[in-house]
Structure 1
């Protein structure tokens, strides 16, 4: 489905908050994010998705990048300002039968990112190449 996906890149102490996905016998990691809903800005969607998927309130600090993929994906650097990791209440948790696979919030060290299947690779390249 074409659309706009808005996501956050959260870093604390050289670790990044990702979602570990196990789906169709594959394990991979994604940055918290999802589709922009009607009437919502991309910034509002990024903040909402962080709460729904990993249970944290975030403040967006900068636009990191925009990537074409099934429409457009927009990534923001963000910092946690509230909430608790692992308390997401989005539809992937409240209605798991609608989704395939598992969703697990996880912190990964910056040094691990390139050795794992973290998607999209373009975002990994950006964040590991910056100080």
Structure 2
């Protein structure tokens, strides 16, 4: 008899990027559950921090250079059951565009009203708190 081990899937790091009262959102070519619009995000690689993954994924997905400013929080996502790491990031340079054409369809800077139409359910509490102070 052999012992079976469960391989845990890597955490997902999400970059929460607010500039001039708007948050950067990306639309995936394929929906993940009910969600097609989300933050730039991807798996944390072996030996990488959540903050480093959020910075790397932002560069890979939308060609934007950002720096990690604050860890907003972590949770197990209720729909995907994946560990999520939310990182507030500051734009260093660049203009976002669809850099990862295999995964993304478009990018958009969203104010509060547009964000509500893209994501019609509440955000994770610490992310929502962050938005209350920064979004128009």
Normalising by structure 2, we get a TM-score of 0.73
Q: CA deviation at 1:104?
A: 1.2
Are the equivalent residues in 1 in contact too, given 2:52–2:68 (CA < 8 A)? no
Equivalent residue in structure 2 for 1:106, among 102, 105, 108: 108
Q: CA deviation at 1:63?
A: 1.1
Equivalent residue in structure 2 for 1:59, among 54, 62, 67: 67
Report which of the two structures shows the higher radius of gyration computed on alpha carbons: 2
Q: Quick check: 1:12 aligned with 2:16?
A: no
State the alpha-carbon separation in 2 of the partners of residues 42 and 118 from structure 1.
Answer: 26
Are the equivalent residues in 1 in contact too, given 2:75–2:83 (CA < 8 A)? yes
Structure 1: segments with no counterpart, 5+ residues: none
Higher share of residues assigned strand: 1
Normalising by structure 1, we get a TM-score of 0.76
Are the equivalent residues in 1 in contact too, given 2:51–2:71 (CA < 8 A)? no
Partner of 2:86 in structure 1?
A: 75
Q: Quick check: 1:39 aligned with 2:47?
A: yes
Total equivalences in the alignment: 121
Query: RMSD of the alignment, in Å?
Result: 2.6
Deviations 1:41-75 (A, max 9, x none): 22211110010111111011111121212331111
